[in-house]
Amino acid sequence: MKIFVAKLAFRTTAEDLRAYFEQFGQVDECKVIMDHETGRSKCYGFVEMPNEAEAYKAIVETDDMEFQGNVLQVRKSRPAKKLK
């Protein structure tokens, strides 16, 4: 399951995100979205977990929780909208 994580700290890396979510189970991939022009974090990212039960537990236990000084917003990711 792909999980959307918002309100990350500017300093949060994909490795930080992986370490935080691995406490709930196996993590296949983590990505912090970066601004191409500035090279700074856009303060959101994605975590992919293969086990749905572990992913749902991670969502419930991390949503509205503090991580690196910020209160996260964590949701199941929705499919990207296709551009016309």
3 closest CA partner among 28, 23, 39: 28
* pLDDT (tens digit per residue) in 1-30: 999 999 999 999 999 999 999 999 999 999
Q: What CATH number belongs to 2-74?
A: 3.30.70.330
For residue 49, what pLDDT is reported?
Answer: 98
Region 60-83: mean pLDDT is 92
Q: Is the pTM of this model over 0.85?
A: yes
Region 41-67: mean pLDDT is 97
Is pLDDT above 90 for 83?
Answer: no
77 closest CA partner among 49, 36, 43, 40: 49
* pLDDT (tens digit per residue) in 33-49: 999 999 999 999 999 99
> Which residues 6+ apart lie within 8 Å of 76 measured at CB?
1, 2, 3, 4, 55, 59
Domain boundaries in the chain? 2-74
